[in-house]
Structure 1
Amino acid sequence: MRRDVAFRILIALAGVMGGCGVALAAMAAHLPDAARLGSASTMLLFHALAAIAAVLLAERGLIRALPGLLAAVGFVIGALLFASDLTLRQFAGTGLFPMAAPSGGNLMILSWLVLAGAALWPRRR
């Protein structure tokens, strides 16, 4: 897959994450006992922006493209795992799979570290 196609897909996914984050925030504000939805919303909104930033930094050549792409993918998958698990627990009473939210959280942490490494690892000239 060409890099620009991957970047466009990641930006589209980040847009969907942002929309879902706003919807979950609204539900958290209006439904009783919906604290899980607030946490899910926050992770989606923050990491949608982080994914877009990683893509733009990689596309502009400010960081290496592959680590930037990996960080963006990690932000998307990690936030989706985390938010999906919390949302299912809220509405269905059961999670996505055992350790889904912690796995998503760990993936987001790892993605932030990959992004930091991409910024510190010099590009080839």
Structure 2
Amino acid sequence: MGDRYLVLAGGLCGAAGVALSAAAAHRGGGNLATAASFLLVHAPAFLALAQLEAGRLVRIGAFALLIGLVLFAGDLLFREFLGTRLFPMAAPSGGTLMIVGWLIVAASAFRRR
């Protein structure tokens, strides 16, 4: 995943997080607030990862984070707005993938350049 895509992901996550925070404040709903929180926390992370002169391992970790975030937040939003799940176990799978992504990013610190 290129640096531009990480910046794009950070910007979109930030915008979505702010919009969902506003929706949660006006409409209520724990799923909205949780999705917004996760989006807002990961937005600057994607921007920071884009600034690293990092190798393939960081890019793999960032990609895992992004897919996990889409699954997790997407499932919460499906539940909130459509009353159904994205697919069975989408949120737990997304959460697990985010954990794995962060561990891959952490492991990249020990990789030789």
TM-score by length of 1: 0.84
Q: Does 1:51 align with 2:46?
A: yes
CA-based RMSD: 1.4
Equivalent residue for 2:11?
15
The one-character-per-residue Cα deviations of 1:71-101 (angstroms, maximum 9, x if unpaired) are 1111211111111110110011001111111
Equivalent residue for 2:30?
35
The one-character-per-residue Cα deviations of 1:20-64 (angstroms, maximum 9, x if unpaired) are 0111111111113x111111011111112222222222xx3xx4x
- When Rg is computed on C-alpha atoms for both structures, the one with the higher figure is 1
The answer as to whether partners of 1:51 and 1:71 remain within 8 angstroms in 2 is no
TM-score by length of 2: 0.92
CA distance in 2, matches of 1:119, 1:15: 25
Q: Tell me the matched-pair count.
A: 113
CA distance in 1, matches of 2:96, 2:105: 14
- Match for 2:89: what amino acid? M
Unaligned runs of 5+ in 2: none
How many percent of aligned residue pairs carry the same amino acid? 45
Instruction: State the 4+ residue runs in structure 1 displaced beyond 4 angstroms.
Output: none
